[in-house]
A and B are shown apart, each in its own frame.
Chain A
Amino acid sequence: MQRQSNSLAPSWRRLIWRGVFWLIMAAGIWSTWVRFSQGLGASTNLSDRFPWGIWVGFNVLSGVGLAAGGFTIAGAVHIFHLERYRAIVRPATLTAFLGYLAVVSALVFELGKPWNIWHPLIMWNPHSVMFEVCWCVTLYLTVLFLEFLPIASDRMGWTRLRGWLRKIMVPVVILGVILSTLHQSSLGSMYLIMEGKLHPLWYSPLLPVLFYLSSIAVGLAMTIFESWHSAKAFGRNLPWPLVEGLSRALAVAGAVYLALRIVDLKTRHIAPWQFGWTTETLLFTVEAVLLSVPVLLLFADWTRRSPQRVYVCASAFLLGFVANRMNVAVTGMERSSGVTYTPHWMEWSSTLMLIAGGFAVFRLAVRYLPVYGEPGAPAAEGVQPSEAADWRRRADSRVAGLAHGD
């Protein structure tokens, strides 16, 4: 009996997920049609008073941050020689590559005249942060393509290309880290000119530094999140010692970021409660809790002993990060605008379509390309996610072994 229900459950679940996927796609395609045939007025709730909504706050600001795992992991392995993380370079690179492609697709929706998207490359304005971001993202997409190319050339047997790529990989990765440093911070710099417009809970001259530090932390959180889901979806081992190591790095990177947030609020003499009980303080609290609780928990051995707890903490941090970017782009801009903004359903549906599309392409890439297990690289130690109880026990013994052995 039990065995039967076990074997039935996945196919039912798969059917439901497939239905959800195509529903999202159908709604997204309709929104796309309305967006491009009738313009932004028909497909968004944006206005002259509130020209940037969730397409900027979520798709661009959050999207670019969530794809930051690419540069942190590639940098850790190729530049810092943290060889044991090599097993997750490829999935992290793929996540970043698809993430940036999704951001560029989202920009095609967001820009009023997307066919001019290449203009910043030839029509320069070096005083514009967005000009700098455009250049960085274009170059970084090229870097990500070069970092992704070994995966494809392994699959296709392009050995000469593979050898050539191996030679240039270190400078390419260094360039990728520099470009990421520049544009991850610059997304924060975009808001520097909005003194008096962006709410003082979020406006700070340190915005570029805060955006950069949080992108490093969220890149690690995203890599944990991605490892967990890949393990579940593809029936793979969770590379547990690596994930545990990432969770330590996340704790430290998150703590550095949060410490600077606190110092920043203190030096600007801003106390979150000085504004009374407003939407801003409420959403600031949500953001603060989602960011700080997982970071604090990850410092405890109890949390890092269980893959499940690590996964929950990483996910909460991801949500806190998205809350932060949405607060900067939406919550913090409402009061000065004099209007309230609630996203149109088509803004959500097109966003969902891009996310669902990204997941689908990731799945296809994993099926047809050697994303996991670089030929010649040692396979990561791991645990089977399907046996949750066993998994935890093995993880516990593993960590206990580490604690005693090292």
Chain B
Amino acid sequence: MARAVLYDSTLCVGCRQCEEACSARWKLPYNQQIAAEEQTSSHKLTAIRTHGERYSRKLCMNCLEPACASVCPVGALEKTTAGAVVYDEGKCVGCRYCMVACPFQVPAYEWERAIPKIRKCDLCSDRTSKGGITRCSEACPTNATITGERGDLIREAQQRIRSKPSEYYGRVYGLEEAGGTSVLILGAVPFDQLGYNTNVPKKVLPELTWAALQHVPDIVSLGGVLLGGVYWITRRREEVRREERA
């Protein structure tokens, strides 16, 4: 039972209620100046972006197989069974590998602080872990953002595309991106026109790492045997040479 969020850009009116609700959840300041910032950062975990007459929303995609969680050396980021990718600042060492690895450029860092942490949307895990809905879904006056089970939301999204094919670009963003995400997005136009990265590989990213990392035990055992053997042979050769000389 994994919770997810569906954002339908065609329903979004750009009222930024989601931004305000999100700031309140993280106890972050929210004012006109911050509202005008059209990108996410450590003090703004979701952002509405304007593209002419259309709007799009950026937030952590909470991937099914998150690159950030797989690269974190201390397991400070973790995908929960409830759907969210959550962050434990007590474990974090501040290496920022999660930021570099994230295909969506989501994790944000508190650059101005001497004791910093990573910031990102966690799908309101305090609520969704108990089957609840996110604060942005609650605040949205047009139901552009809704919370539900991922399977249900995929069916809902496909239903909307089927029923109004002229109003939708016929794909769900997040269905395959990075192996699938817990945030699904619908739009009227191709997603790159809405500011979404369409170059994200449609595969499970941590598997790219695992292809190399799984060989570590082989290198240890093979290397030990090989080097031990070379030592033994070359030492024997030295001994033989010394005896022949003597």
Contacts and interface: CB of A to CB of B under 8 A. Distances in A.
A193 B70 contact: yes
B231 A116 contact: no
Contacts of A124: 75
A194 interface: yes
A296 interface: no
Contacts of B109: 40, 48, 51, 112
Interface string A106-138: 000011111011011001111111111110000
Interface of A: 36-42, 46-49, 51-52, 75, 78-81, 83, 110-114, 116-117, 119-120, 123-134, 170, 174, 177-178, 181-182, 185-186, 189-190, 192-197, 205, 208, 333, 336-337
B117 to A, nearest CB: 8
Nearest to A188: B212
A133 B93 CA distance: 14
Contacts of B200: 196
Nearest to A336: B199
B223 A181 contact: yes
B130 interface: no
Contact of A113 (B92, B213, B224): B92
B99 interface: yes
A154 B27 CA distance: 61
B205 A193 contact: yes
Q: Rank and list the top 9 A-B pairs by shortest CB-CB distance, nearest first.
A: A112-B94, A41-B111, A81-B234, A130-B73, A51-B99, A113-B94, A123-B74, A125-B75, A51-B96
Nearest to A83: B238
Contacts of A125: 70, 72-75
Interface string B49-74: 00000000000000000010011111
B71 A132 contact: no
Given A38-B114, A120-B74, A178-B227, A80 B234 contact: yes
Contact of B220 (A39, A178, A185): A178
Contacts of B238: 81, 83
A196 B73 CA distance: 22
B224 to A, nearest CB: 6
B75 A123 contact: yes
Interface in B208-229: 208-213, 216, 219-220, 223-224, 227-228
Interface of B: 40-42, 67, 70-76, 91-97, 99-101, 103, 105, 107-117, 199-201, 205-206, 208-213, 216, 219-220, 223-224, 227-228, 230-231, 234-235, 237-238
Contact of A48 (B105, B199, B235): B105
B41 A127 contact: no
A112 B74 CA distance: 14
B96 A81 contact: no
B230 A181 contact: no
Contacts of A110: 95
A113 B116 contact: yes
Contacts of B74: 116, 119-120, 123, 125, 131
Nearest to B101: A193
Given A132-B213, A181-B223, A39 B206 contact: no
Contact of B209 (A40, A48, A75, A129): A129
B116 A129 contact: no
Given A81-B237, A193-B205, A49 B105 contact: yes
Given A51-B109, A112-B116, A119-B74, 9 more contacts: A46-B111, A48-B41, A111-B93, A112-B109, A119-B73, A128-B72, A177-B223, A205-B208, A205-B211
A127 B213 contact: yes
Given A48-B41, A127-B209, A192-B209, A120 B93 contact: yes
A129 B213 CA distance: 7
